[in-house]
Structure 1
């Protein structure tokens, strides 16, 4: 089989880890990058040894040899680029969110049904081995139906009022920040494990720093404070943190908290699911363990060892037990899954079914985000239809 040629659109943090992860796949090659300027694209091309670079994403998408587009741009550009890529017949893996609101994501999900391309959203946490193990255990029915779900996604990179990123600008990021940026990951992961969608929410969101210091020179995500360049005061309307009560379609109740202002928490996505017979707990910062709680016997921890896991979970564990895997490996698993489907479209017989989030999944998450914002504004329960 010929190497699948890929174009990356974007030059920031997401574009970098997509590029590095793609290099772990032997039959995929990043051949081009496009940025908001030719200079940024050239800089990234030199950094990663990418042969071609463009200052206009339309030019990249128009290249006939490029089969797959990775959309790693700021949120306000996702919709237009995703539409352009699919209409051009390119397979698409988009960073979330699909658009700025659920109206845009609805159009993208509809377009994906009409276009003969593989399209997915980069919800990478469902591709961790112990998340897949938890999914199999919960959905087996062996332990009884889940009745309570708790969790959080906590970070500290926006703790100080001097911390600033383009994600604080609703014109670029959207009307939600913490919920849309990290809460969306929690929702997708838990829905995947349960096999149940969130159907109702009650939200309480909070902006800790309504005024922040914006650097006079642009900084990237996780870029830090203003430094020596100086800054200006800007008002912030999006949430720094918040909690959401949720109902799932299977009857489970739950609550999750998101924060980008929790000191010492770097990337702590965690969930705890209680069923009739057990409680399962997983923490992304300690991803190789799945805790099992019991009432009438000793609690235990299941380790990420392929010989101890279900077949589906073991397929995501690439090294023997004791050889620790982590965040970059979850991304690798997502890409293996996505590109296996691309190969199936090319006629290759590859076993299994795709597990990655498709555009319908991405649209559903956008509806959850919109409902959370509406609930916070009205201080009431909002149904997600």
Structure 2
């Protein structure tokens, strides 16, 4: 997601455009509407696909190409919802399919001094955010057969461990030498910084859409000049691309690969 238009600090309703007509484009459009934005236009790989997505996105206009949408002068924010290999020519998570391209995009975003975010949306689940501040060493392995978009994070310390499982996101596992426990998402017990991401009462599960909506709202807040804590930027996207490159190198060499900081 990129800020591309006028200075919107005093704008109550941001004008957004969406490039991409598939599933993730629908997710972005839903989150944009919930955040109070106007969907000014949509563009797809062909004008015909954009026209088919026009009604579903509740967009005001169909643009013949991404270039026409970007250069229209009608946008404050651009949502890039294209296949991964096209992100480098427009941008998003993964920013690109290799680290060099992702690093270049992050550098250009920094030079522009505009808001540029990447949707690492499970940062916005209250239970994942509860782990925030824990520091550990990460090992990355191949996706397990049968798992569907699983994100499993565990930090193992000498005295205690903590784990978050995206497939069971309402609980956080805490392990200690004297025993283990499951911490259940409950607005009555969450810390104040985390509480604002807990949008439902305990017992009503929050998931991907809720996280994406919160990510979009925080991105728009950043466009307006706020500084939401933990908002993932293109720098985070470039770091993820570096990790992916290291995973591929490990698979090729059948050895451990250390991921060096930028």
**Superposed pair shares fold, TM > 0.5:** yes
Is the CA contact (8 Å cut-off) linking 1:42 and 1:53 kept in structure 2? yes
Aligned to 1:114: 111
Q: List aligned pairs for 1:293-308, cutoff 5 A.
A: 293-297=175-179, 299-308=180-189
Distance 1:277 1:353 in 2: 32
**Structure 1 residue 121 displacement after superposition:** 1.1
1:341 corresponds to 2:222: yes
SS at match of 1:306: coil
Distance 2:159 2:256 in 1: 30
SS at match of 2:139: strand
1:276 corresponds to 2:158: yes
Distance 1:122 1:73 in 2: 13
Aligned counterpart for 2:230 among listed residues 325, 330, 355: 355
Aligned to 2:148: 266
Is the CA contact (8 Å cut-off) linking 1:41 and 1:53 kept in structure 2? yes
Aligned counterpart for 2:22 among listed residues 5, 8, 12: 12
Aligned counterpart for 2:75 among listed residues 48, 66, 79: 66
Aligned to 1:375: 250
Is the CA contact (8 Å cut-off) linking 1:125 and 1:131 kept in structure 2? yes
Say if 1:270 and 1:381 are closer, same or farther in 2 by CA, change over 3 A.
closer
SS at match of 1:46: helix
Q: List aligned pairs for 1:93-104, cutoff 5 A.
A: 94=92, 96-104=93-101
**Structure 1 residue 128 displacement after superposition:** 0.8
Is the CA contact (8 Å cut-off) linking 1:341 and 1:354 kept in structure 2? no
Name which one, 1 or 2, has greater alpha-carbon Rg.
1
Deviations 1:193-240 (A, max 9, x none): x3xxxxxxxxxxxxxxxxxxxxxxxxxxxxxxxxxxxxxxxxxxxxxx
Distance 1:119 1:354 in 2: 15
SS at match of 1:135: coil
Q: More strand per residue: 1 or 2?
A: 1
Distance 1:255 1:371 in 2: 9
Say if 1:288 and 1:253 are closer, same or farther in 2 by CA, change over 3 A.
closer
Aligned to 1:157: none
SS at match of 2:235: helix
SS at match of 1:114: helix
Distance 2:71 2:175 in 1: 53
Distance 2:29 2:222 in 1: 19
Q: List aligned pairs for 1:312-323, cutoff 5 A.
A: 312-323=193-204
Q: How many residues align?
A: 250
Is the CA contact (8 Å cut-off) linking 2:125 and 2:206 kept in structure 1? no
**Structure 1 residue 253 displacement after superposition:** 5.6
Is the CA contact (8 Å cut-off) linking 1:306 and 1:317 kept in structure 2? yes
SS at match of 1:308: coil
**RMSD in angstroms over aligned alpha carbons?**
1.9
Say if 1:367 and 1:13 are closer, same or farther in 2 by CA, change over 3 A.
same
Is the CA contact (8 Å cut-off) linking 2:18 and 2:78 kept in structure 1? yes
Aligned to 1:43: 52
Say if 1:42 and 1:373 are closer, same or farther in 2 by CA, change over 3 A.
same
Distance 2:117 2:57 in 1: 24
**Structure 1 residue 73 displacement after superposition:** 0.5
**Structure 1 residue 49 displacement after superposition:** 2.1
Is the CA contact (8 Å cut-off) linking 1:133 and 1:312 kept in structure 2? no
SS at match of 1:290: strand
Aligned to 2:191: 310
What runs of 5+ residues in structure 1 fail to find an aligned partner?
83-93, 139-193, 195-249, 345-349
